[in-house]
Structure 1
Amino acid sequence: MSEPGWVEHAVWWQVYPLGFAGAYPAGGDGGGLGRITDWLDYAIELGASGILLGPVFASETHGYDTVDHLRIDPRLGDDADFDALIAAAHDRGLRVLLDGVFNHVGRGHAAFQAVLAQGADAPTARWFRATRPDGAGEPRYETFEGHDALVALNHLEPAVADYVAGVMTHWLRRGADGWRLDAAYAVPAEFWAGVLPRVRAEFPDAYVVGEVIHGDYGDFVARSTVDSVTQYELWKAVWSALNEGNFFELAWALDRHNTFLDTFVPQTFLGNHDVTRLASRLIDARHLPHALALLLTVGGTPSVYAGDEQGFTGVKEDREHGDDAVRPPFPARPDGLAPYGRPLYHLHQELIGLRRRHPWLHRARTSTVHLTNEQFAYEAAAGDHRLLVALNAGAAPAELPVPYGKNVLHGEAKLTEPGTAAATVALPAAGWAVLDRTPSAAAARAPG
């Protein structure tokens, strides 16, 4: 595993800056990066150890159509505002991850504008891939997933690799702690394998996570040399299993998750800026704690999307501005939040605290202890460390075996015959519990 040692303790609070600050789609002055700075103490109180930022660089609309990777988006402020955010975060012990959009650029990017003006004579002509001429005989250029406003870069061009390496090192020099690589799956893995060693030569402790949705995660990590990728498979299995009353799907996904942990630690999440909010995705709101308990007791580097800890709702739609509902503006300060989100916020504090007290969970493997459609108990283990998690997604109380369960750490449950092979836990309808575990009798008698 190539990830820096500090990542073992990382719990990210993810922020989409343009939406958070009310700068897009509203277009007004919502406080810029200073708005995020005013929420750093809130992130600390939540239990986060880092801020995972969405795009902060100059762009045309939503941040993913970058026009200048070396300039802070004027809607968010300027270099001084960035420096102030980094300094305030680091003063609090928070790491900061930036969002790098290096698969494509906005049409207003200087490199593409030069091509439009000068054609094949432009110094950046090879940065882009011309396709068939349009009706006027003008060349067209490959785009990201058919979006004309997002012009794809030619990652076979050495100058593009030089540009990306330069941008990454520039902001690491300015204090960033790592990068999320947007649409990393759309970029040849070999491109990253050429760029990242150049970045790490100067910044060996930088953390790099690639956005990968489908495919062979382990193969991509190995060929690209990124530290991690986004674990969309597990994200989908969590809400799907809870909605469908099918924990077999989740157990399968966790077995596959274990295989990833053999070579890298995935970046795990229940929500982000690209998907429907968990509180809107789940049919039964009582399953929110189940999902959170899962996120914070399985291996991975977990992130919480800002607002999910308050139970924010929002549905992503496949249309223009279809992301706006999941990227809303936030109040100027945390005291502007509605009070009804506090219970879920406190539960996040509780379970993030569990995670921070047990950093070994970062690489923990899970094994099934009990499995039915609506009940699931598993063990999370790393070395000599063990925890048990029991989940009841059913509408009736249930009793689950939890061999050697010692005591209930979190959740509402009654433990019978604690510390023995016959231990069981009684859960209410839609109940859950995290339990400490004693060694088995055989393990306790083993020498050494």
Structure 2
Amino acid sequence: MLFRLLLIICLWLGSTCGGYVEHPNFCIETEPLLLADIGQHVVIPSEKSLNCQIIATTLTSNEKASFIDTMCADHGSLTVKQDNHHYLRLRNGELSGRGSQEDICENQAKSVLAWVPYQMVLEHYARELNPKERLTYIAKATNVEREKTELCHFRHTDLVNKVVDGLFTCVVMIFGDNFYGVEDNINVLVELEPLMYQLRNITYMPWRNTTNSYKMNLGSSVLKNPGHERKPIYGSINYSFVEKLRLNVSSIYQVDETLEKLPLLLEHRGSVLELDANGIGGLQVDEKAYFGRSMDPLSEVRVQVIGQWVDQYREFSADIYEYYGHGLRRYKQALSQAKLTLVRVDNTEPVFEAPESSNLAKASLFREPSGSSHSKLMVNGSHSNFTEWEQAVDDDSAEESSGFYGWFVVTCLLVALAIILSVFAIVRSQSRRLQERQKYEVANQNAQQP
């Protein structure tokens, strides 16, 4: 009941809930059911099978070949030649119509055929059929004891009247005198219809045209140069936008008129994007813009990153796959010269503002330990493992060390000068004393002469 309510709401809202919702109680199996599996009386159901009220198992290639040989070849059987048996068509687990034996023979069973157990068909689809019709439906019957599986057909009235006892018979196609009962594991033939097309393996052709639109502000940041040298400073900024896609639906459906008007899934940027009936969709895109400039010492500058909206018109080729739901898809055909318009942000560029005196880097009271004094990248006004205080302290210590060395040199020079002056004074004093002594000795010598 909840699923039906959500489905009705989504159909009423249209594109708000998407083009379709996969039936949660309908499952598609691609593995055939073997006789050994049917004969097992104790089967441990998996978590997936517990949630599946309707299970469709696709036919293998051998089953299709045997089916065509039995239903479409002339075996001289009046049952096969005169009667036109039918099968049910399912789309997303819902009954969408019926097909005939002639349809399968004309397309050589190229459609996706599957088997659904009779009890499931009886429970979910019998009430939607007209009880007054006189038709027969194609099925297969498996008898484990005889280890045999044969194509058969049963009456429309048995289905709508919910016959599940000994009155039910599934008559063998070629030998009409042989029949099976419900206890022999009856599976009804159905055809699965695609929900939408997937455009995969896309190859873009060269650019056709580009139209520029208005510019927008993608974000702002700050670049800082805390060093004492002029150097280039780099940064980056993250920004996001919704990239819009407009697929020219006529370039797909008008080229091949055999394609049904189904919704489209487009493989774009590594994901599968759902488009509406007009071929319009959107995708959240996260990008990063890089910028940088040469900056003066101890300066900072604010920067704004702007981008320009552009419409890019492109042609592409792709492979068309039919998508049946629950992960089942099948190759349909190749596509060429399809047209797509991408509306995205391009041509990003930074706009730097002139630095102000109040924007000069100043010392901070916080310091983080770091062994390197090289410039760090400043992004979005923040810094990592670096503070202006660290640079200031390092610079001050460098200045202190250089000042101490200067004073040391001056002191050494003054001491050397003092020593020289002292030596000079002592030498001069000794020289004067020596001169006076020589004068005294000369005077004495002159006085002793006769």
Same fold by TM-score greater than 0.5:
no
TM-score (norm 1): 0.24
TM-score (norm 2): 0.24
Larger Rg: 2
Higher helix share: 1
Higher strand share: 2
